[in-house]
Structures are given as structure tokens and as C-alpha cells.
């Protein structure tokens, strides 16, 4: 590993030195010929890219390392399950103009690039993401902005992709400032995994640009406590210090974070660096990621076991993004045991029962 490369802390160096072939990967983790062959087969369907930084977090001696499992293709991706879908969230159906998804009344998703610094094996949008390094063409951007301008009910624009922070600061500023110029847009959100996989991208140039367009909110995507490194911590704290509230959206992934102790450690590490856990997603039905799926009850149980035991703001909302465009549906343990006109019978976090009388 070129850990001591002179430009290690330069995000453009990290980006241009991403590991994209099995041959390069062999320099990081031991691979025999059969494993290399499997990876090459996967790469015919879904591409791989791993920043040298993120690759350096892999424990090469552990085939089930949680960082490795998120980044390195597995032959299980080639065994499709009958529930797999190309567009699991039905985003094409809710797209009034290309690159815009308008599902909820007051907010839209604006997909500005299909490029990411690391291609997560569990990606929901893997059908589009990483197919090609495509950023939104100027004409399509203008069309998307026209759409947002024509809908005064849109008050929250979520800039996502792909990862918008893989774009140059100048290109991103062009997009952010254009959205900010629309009078009825109150909040601009950015979805990015950069703090986790390319933390050096969070530099003064980026933050001083974003600060000009407040209120900006950012959501990132940590899945495992081992991702919380000094570099990631610096990036998150710099974002928050720039006045940007920073949330986290994790995906519940089998063999990676599907146990209460790992989840607890992750959530506590997040709040310690001022990142607010926002959503925990049930894994979607994207192609070739069935091996990451857990049973729905497992997520419910994990959150039940944490609720009441750690700070309320450290516990995310567990959601299923319903197939076919149903949107996010929160699910949790049912704390209401019984309910009628007179009273509600409730269970507390310790499993004790309490009565709350209804107003007469
Ligand atoms: C997730 C999502 C949003 C944002 O939803 P919040 O619950 O407000 O975070 C908006 N549009 C689409 C299509 C989404 O999938
Ligand atoms: S960063 Fe997000 S969009 Fe990009 S590959 Fe990972 S999950 Fe998909």
C-alpha cells in the first residue's frame, strides 16, 4: 500500500489512484487465482472503485472484514435472487424530468452525478451509479432547475447521485448556487459518502463555498464503527463547524452491522463527533445484493434493544424504502399493547407495562 505517498492527503490523488482492477486489489489483500477470477467476473456487471484510504482500513487477514465486504465484489453478487429489481425504489416512475425524483409534496431528489469515490457493493442505485462517470449535462440541469422553479411547493432540494462531492468545487457551486437562487427553496441537502471513503475531500475550499449558501444540511453514510477514523472525524467535525448539520444514514447489512453491539458502538461514535443518526435502512432489493439482506424483525429488535439504553438522539429511525416507489416507511417495535376509548396500555423500554388514561 502506498500509505506514505506524498499526496496521500490530496483528495484528487486519492480519487485518481482508486483500485479498480483485481490486479491492483492484489496489492492490498491476498487473492488467489480463483478469487481474482470471481472478482473479474463481477466486474463485468458492476464496477469496483476503492480509494487507497478506504482500502487501507481493510484487515487483509480477515475475509469477512466489514470494510472489505462493503468494497470488494463477492461472487454472491452473481447469484440473483428472485426478488431482485433493477429500479427497486421505482424512481423512474416518479421522475417528472430526467435527474429529478419528486415523490413527496415538498421536496425533490436532484441526481447530479452517477460517480462515486467508492462503489458500495450494497448500493441501491447500482443500476445507474458507476455505469459511467456521468455528471448531469448542463441542458438537463437547466431543465431540472426549470421544473423546481415551476413548483412553488418544493422547499427542500436533496442533491444526491452518485456522490455530488466527487465533482469539482466549481461545478458543485454552479449547481448549489443555481438551486439557492430559487426563491421558494428553503433548505438544500447534500447526500455524500465522502466523509467515510474520501475524508480529505472535505477541505477549506469546499466548506467556504458551501457556507455561502446556507441553510445547507448534509447526510452521510457510515455503516461500521471501524469507519470512524481520525481522518473521518476531522472531516465530520469540519462540516459541523461550518454550520452544516450532519446526519447519518446507515444500511443494515448482514455480516457487517446486523448486531446490537456493533450498531451501538457505531451510533455512540457518531454522536461523539456530532453526527446525528438519522435513518437506518432495511437493505433494498437491488440486483445481486440479496446476501446483505436481513429479516425485518432483526432491525426492529436491534433498535428496540438500544432504545432507552443510549441517548434518544443516538437512535436512528428504522425505515424500509418500499419497493415500487412506496417511499420510506418507518417501522419499530409496537409499544402500544392495547388501545381503546378509555385508556392506552403501553410497554416501556424495560418491558414493563403502564396505563395512560385517555381524556374523557
Ligand atoms: C429519501 C427521499 C427523500 C428525502 O426524504 P426525507 O424523509 O425527508 O429524508 C426525498 N425524495 C426521495 C425520492 C427520497 O427517496
Ligand atoms: S456512495 Fe451511495 S450512491 Fe455511491 S455507491 Fe455508495 S451507496 Fe451507492
Domain CATH for 177: 3.20.20.70
Ligand 2 nearest atom to the CA of residue 125, by list position: 8
Average pLDDT over residues 10-24: 97
Q: Which ligand is nearest to the CA of 319?
A: 1
Whether residues 123 and 267 share a domain: the answer is yes
Whether residues 218 and 323 share a domain: the answer is: yes
pLDDT of residue 82: 85
Long-range contacts of 331-334 (CB under 8 A, 24+ apart): 331/282, 331/296, 331/299, 331/300, 332/300, 332/303, 332/304, 333/300, 333/301, 333/303, 333/304, 333/307
Residues 203, 237, single domain; the answer is yes
Higher pLDDT, 162 or 127: 162
Higher-confidence residue of 78 and 256: namely 256
User: For residue 164, is it within any domain?
Assistant: yes
Are both 167 and 257 inside the same structural domain?
Answer: yes
Model pLDDT for residues 150-190, shown as the tens digit of each residue: 999 999 999 999 999 999 999 999 999 999 999 999 999 99
Q: What is the pLDDT of residue 320?
A: 97
Q: Which of 92, 109, 325 to mutate to test the pocket of ligand 1 (most atoms within 8 A of CB)?
A: 109
Does 279 have pLDDT greater than 70?
yes
Distance 116 CA to ligand 2 centre (A): 6
Which pLDDT score, from 0 to 100, does residue 77 have? Answer: 93
Per the model's pLDDT, the better-predicted residue between 78 and 130 turns out to be: 78
Res 3: pLDDT: 56
Together in a domain, 158 and 254: yes
pLDDT at 133 over 90: no
Task: Please check whether residues 60 and 192 belong to one and the same domain.
Answer: no
Please compute the mean of the pLDDT values over residues 201-206 and round it to a whole number.
Answer: 98
- Assess whether 174 and 34 both reside in one domain: no
Ligand 2, atom 7, residue with closest C-alpha: 123
Closest ligand to the CA of 130: 2
**Whether the CB of 263 sits within 6 Å of ligand 2:** no
Interacting residues of 90 by C-beta distance below 8 A, sequence separation 6+: 323, 324, 325, 326
User: Is residue 318 domain-shared with residue 230, that is, in the same domain?
Assistant: yes
| pLDDT for 254 beyond 90 | yes
Q: Is the dihedral of CA 332, 334, 340, 346 positive or negative?
A: negative
103-130 average pLDDT score: 92
Residues 23 and 114 in one domain: no
Residue 192 maps to a domain: yes
- Residue 123 known to be catalytic: yes
Asked if residue 52 has pLDDT above 60, the reply is yes
Residues in contact with ligand 1 by the CB-under-6-Å rule are 101, 103-104, 107, 109, 158, 328
Q: Give the Cβ contact number of residue 248 at 10 Å.
A: 24
Q: Is residue 159 part of a domain?
A: yes
Please confirm, yes or no, whether 103 is among the known catalytic residues: yes
**Which mutation among 87, 101, 104 tests ligand 1's pocket best, with the greatest number of atoms within 8 A of CB?**
104
Split into its structural domains, the chain has a count of 2
Phi and psi at residue 278, in whole multiples of 5°?
-110, -70
Domain annotation covers residue 252: yes
Domain coverage including residue 29: 11-78
Residues 34 and 108 placed together within one structural domain of the fold: no
Averaged pLDDT of the chain: 95
Question: Is 328 a known active-site residue?
Answer: yes
Nearest residue (by CA) to ligand 2, atom 8, is: 123
- Same domain? For 18 and 112 the reply is no
Does residue 109 line the site of ligand 2, with CB under 6 A? Answer: no
pLDDT at 4: 67
Q: Is any atom of ligand 2 closer than 6 Å to the C-beta of 147?
A: no
pTM: 0.96
Task: Report whether pLDDT(346) > 80.
Answer: yes
With bands split at pLDDT 50, 70 and 90, how would you rate the model's confidence at 220?
A: very high
pLDDT at 25: 97
Give yes or no for residue 321 having a pLDDT over 80: yes
CB-ligand 2 contact for 88 (6 Å cutoff):
no
42 and 108 part of one domain: no
pLDDT at 112: 97
Amino acid at each position: 500500500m502506498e500509505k506514505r505517498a506524498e499526496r496521500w492527503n490530496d483528495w484528487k490523488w486519492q480519487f485518481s489512484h482508486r483500485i479498480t482492477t483485481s490486479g491492483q486489489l492484489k496489492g492490498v489483500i491476498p487473492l488467489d487465482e480463483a478469487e481474482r477470477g470471481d472478482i473479474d467476473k463481477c466486474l463485468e456487471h458492476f464496477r469496483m472503485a476503492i480509494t487507497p484510504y478506504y482500502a487501507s482500513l481493510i484487515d487483509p487477514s480477515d475475509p469477512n472484514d466489514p470494510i472489505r465486504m462493503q468494497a470488494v465484489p463477492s461472487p454472491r453478487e452473481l447469484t440473483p435472487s428472485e426478488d431482485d429489481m433493477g429500479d427497486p425504489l421505482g424512481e423512474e416512475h416518479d421522475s417528472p424530468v430526467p435527474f429529478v425524483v419528486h415523490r413527496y409534496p415538498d421536496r425533490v431528489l436532484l441526481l447530479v452525478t452517477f460517480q462515486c469515490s467508492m462503489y458500495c457493493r450494497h448500493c441501491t442505485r447500482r443500476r445507474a451509479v458507476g455505469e459511467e462517470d456521468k455528471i448531469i449535462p448542463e441542458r438537463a440541469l437547466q431543465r431540472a432547475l426549470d421544473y423546481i422553479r415551476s413548483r412553488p411547493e418544493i422547499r427542500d432540494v436533496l442533491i444526491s447521485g452518485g456522490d455530488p462531492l466527487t465533482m469539482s468545487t466549481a461545478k458543485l457551486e454552479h449547481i448549489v448556487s443555481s438551486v439557492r437562487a430559487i426563491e421558494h427553496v428553503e433548505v438544500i441537502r447534500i447526500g455524500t459518502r465522502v466523509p467515510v471513503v474520501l475524508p480529505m475531500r472535505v477541505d477549506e475550499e469546499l466548506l467556504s463555498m458551501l457556507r455561502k449558501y446556507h441553510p445547507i444540511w448534509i447526510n452521510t453514510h457510515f455503516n461500521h464503527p471501524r469507519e470512524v477514523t481520525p481522518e473521518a472525524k476531522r472531516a465530520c467535525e469540519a462540516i459541523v463547524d461550518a454550520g452544516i448539520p450532519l446526519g447519518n444514514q446507515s444500511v443494515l447489512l448482514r455480516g457487517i452491522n446486523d448486531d446490537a453491539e456493533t450498531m451501538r458502538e457505531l451510533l455512540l461514535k457518531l454522536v461523539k463527533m456530532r453526527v446525528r443518526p438519522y435513518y437506518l435502512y432495511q437493505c433494498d432489493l437491488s440486483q445481486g445484493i440479496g446476501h446483505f439482506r436481513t429479516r425485518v424483525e432483526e432491525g426492529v429488535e436491534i433498535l428496540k434493544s438500544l432504545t432507552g439504553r443510549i441517548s434518544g438522539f443516538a437512535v436512528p429511525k428504522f425505515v424500509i424504502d418500499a419497493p415500487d416507489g412506496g417511499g420510506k416507511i418507518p417501522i419499530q417495535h409496537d409499544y402500544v399493547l392495547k388501545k381503546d376509548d378509555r385508556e392506552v396500555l403501553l410497554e416501556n423500554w424495560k418491558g414493563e407495562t403502564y396505563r395512560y388514561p385517555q381524556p374523557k
